[in-house]
Structure 1
Amino acid sequence: MNDTMVTLVGNVATRVDYKESATGAVARFRFAVTARRWDREKQTWADGATSFYTVWARRMLAANLAGSVSVGEPLVVHGRLRVREEEQQDAKRWFSADVEAVAVGHDLTRGTSAFRRVVKGEPSLTERHKTGAI
């Protein structure tokens, strides 16, 4: 109930890693988000720092991601933000930002997309992850 929900707009940075296990399907990929700001002096857009997130998806969302998303594609990701802190062997602290995706879609301000509804029990639309095409 007190989860921090975020919506990120960016690009897929790595291929979708899809796995099926006894507890269900899981997919993950790295997502790059770069801030853009208007530079008044130069009268042009300038890129800011890039932040990277690990996006996690489960069940049907995981399978659909594996069959639909490639490196470099622009996406909109909505989900729960999780910040992890770990201490490494050399006593340095390390932080990681993960997003447990609730919904993912192509950013239609930068291109077009064709939606195909997946019928339960008909995996043909998500077969891409099994053929090694990712």
Structure 2
Amino acid sequence: MNDTTICAVGNVATQPIYRDLATGPSARFRLAVTTRYFDREKSAWTDGHTSFYTVWANRQLATNVAASLSVGDPVVVQGRLKVRTDVREGQPNRSSADIDALAIGHDLARGTSAFRRANRQEATASPPRPEPNWETPEEDSAPDSPAPVRKRSGQPRAEPVMVT
């Protein structure tokens, strides 16, 4: 694919708007990205130009955005950049930069966050797959075996946890 994938670091500028559409949940918010540079004359960091993007999230990401983000939160957004141009009669053309988000998270360089796993509703109730046996087999003392297999030493392994 020839999409332009970007990673933008900024602040949530508007309260996320959540909609439950026929195609599934959708959410959008505005992201403010301000460049910073070191001004040698002032010997201090200075804010530069601020760019605004409309961030679109779909499905489970939209639900989580609506429950997790608020105005002013520092976030990292990764997704596909789309530049759209609206042509309206009697008005100059209007362009907007949108990000179709693939992943959104709090910027932990600027604060802390507590993660809670979302309860996802499974579309089809299928039985869980059996967990594979990851243990190394015991040494085989039979003379016809090609090479002995050593069992790992150290602490015993914890039982695997199946996450649904």
Q: CA deviation at 1:91?
A: 4.5
Taking the TM superposition and a 5 Å limit, the aligned residue runs for 1:97-116 are 97-116=97-116
2:51 corresponds to 1:57: no
- Tell me which moved more, 35-44 or 85-94: 85-94
Normalised TM-score (structure 2): 0.72
Deviations 1:33-59 (A, max 9, x none): 000011111110111111100000000
Taking the TM superposition and a 5 Å limit, the aligned residue runs for 1:3-18 are 3-18=3-18
Structure 1 unaligned blocks of 5 or more: 123-134
Question: What SS does the aligned partner of 1:63 have?
Answer: helix
Q: CA deviation at 1:75?
A: 0.2
* Higher gyration radius (CA): 2
2:106 corresponds to 1:95: no
Q: CA deviation at 1:116?
A: 0.8
Letter of the structure 1 residue corresponding to residue 103 of structure 2: A
2:124 corresponds to 1:117: no
Taking the TM superposition and a 5 Å limit, the aligned residue runs for 1:33-72 are 33-72=33-72
Q: Which has the higher contact order (CA 8 A, sep 6+)?
A: 1
Which residue is 2:128 aligned to? none
2:74 corresponds to 1:74: yes
Which has a greater percent of strand?
1
Q: C-alpha distance in 2, partners of 1:49/1:88?
A: 28
Report the RMSD for the aligned CA atoms in angstroms: 1.3
Deviations 1:70-127 (A, max 9, x none): 00000000000000012233341211000000000000011000111113239xxxxx
Which residue is 2:19 aligned to? 19
Q: C-alpha distance in 2, partners of 1:37/1:66?
A: 32
Question: What SS does the aligned partner of 1:62 have?
Answer: helix
Q: C-alpha distance in 1, partners of 2:4/2:80?
A: 6
Deviation >2 Å, runs of 4+: 87-91
Q: C-alpha distance in 1, partners of 2:5/2:101?
A: 10
Normalised TM-score (structure 1): 0.87
2:83 corresponds to 1:83: yes
